[in-house]
Each structure stands twice: as structure tokens, then as C-alpha cells.
Amino acid sequence: MKIGIDLDGVITPIGLINPSLKLPRWLYVFIIPIILLMVPNKKEELKKIAANHEIIIVSARPKWSKALTETWLKYHKIPYRRIYCVGFGKGTKQRKLEAIRQEGIEVFVEDNVRIRAFLNGNSVRTVSKQLLNGQLLS
């Protein structure tokens, strides 16, 4: 099964790539990759999922952050097949939906209630980050 997973708020505990923070770009490039941690036990959970499923990350991070994000994922040994950084702001939900449809993702893990509702309304099965383990590994 193809499983799509949001990054910030699901794999990482908070979304640091957030337009409301108004942080300078150099901070994202040099500081955030060093301090950004993972949700406890998330790597092990993702490895279990990746053993039987294909993981595709679809994030609202800006497109320019894709290489930096891939480096962070490799550093933390997060299993994934592909990553999409669709950008935040106006149209984020639609861009996430396009990536999900393009990849044929069967279930998407999303922490944002509004994005989950939008995806569900467009026939995409979604689960919250709290339900990920129980719904996909059982």
C-alpha cells in the first residue's frame, strides 16, 4: 500500500517551517536542521510501516527546502520512497491533494484537522498522527 505522511507535526513534533513565524531563510538552512528533533519512537514506527508499505512524504514545506529536508531525513535514517514539498499558504491543501493523487496514495497521515477534512472530502482516506500505528500496523 502507498502511504502518504505529512512531515511537520507528524514526524517532527512541531512545524518549524511555518510562514507565521517569519524567520529568516538562513535560520532554516543552518540552525533548524540541527535542532529539529523527531517525535519519540517515530523512526521505529516508520520502519515497521516501510517493511510492508511504500512511504511518500507530502509536506507543506517550501520547494526550496526539499534538498535540506532530504538531508535531514537521511541523517535520521527515515525510510521513504519520495518527498514532495508543496509549499505553504494559499493552495496548500490543493497541492497536497494533487501530489496524493499523482502518487496513488491510499491513506494519508496528517496532523492538521482542516487539511484532513479537505482530503476526506476529496475521497482521500486520512488518519491522524495518533492513529497511525494502530490503523496501519494492525
CATH number of the domain encompassing residue 63: 3.40.50.1000
| pLDDT value, residue 64 | 85
Is the confidence at residue 29, as pLDDT, over 90? Answer: no
| pLDDT value, residue 62 | 86
Tally the C-alpha atoms within 13 A of residue 9's C-alpha that lie toward its C-beta. 15
Q: How many other CB atoms are there within 10 angstroms of residue 132's CB atom? A: 19
Burial class (CB within 10 angstroms; exposed 0-12, middle 13-18, buried 19+) of 35: exposed
pTM (2 d.p.) = 0.82
Parent domain of 74? 2-137
Q: What share of residues in the chain are helix, strand, coil (percent, to 5)?
A: 45, 15, 40
pLDDT classification of 83: cutoffs 50, 70, 90:
very high
pLDDT classification of 91: cutoffs 50, 70, 90:
very high
What is the pairing mode between strands 2-5 and 54-59? parallel
Closest CA to 15 of 77, 81, 59: 59
Average pLDDT over residues 70-78: 91
Average pLDDT over residues 71-84: 93
| pLDDT value, residue 137 | 44
The model's pLDDT over 34-45, given as tens digits with 9 standing for 90+, comes to: 556 777 788 889
* Total structural domains within the chain: 1
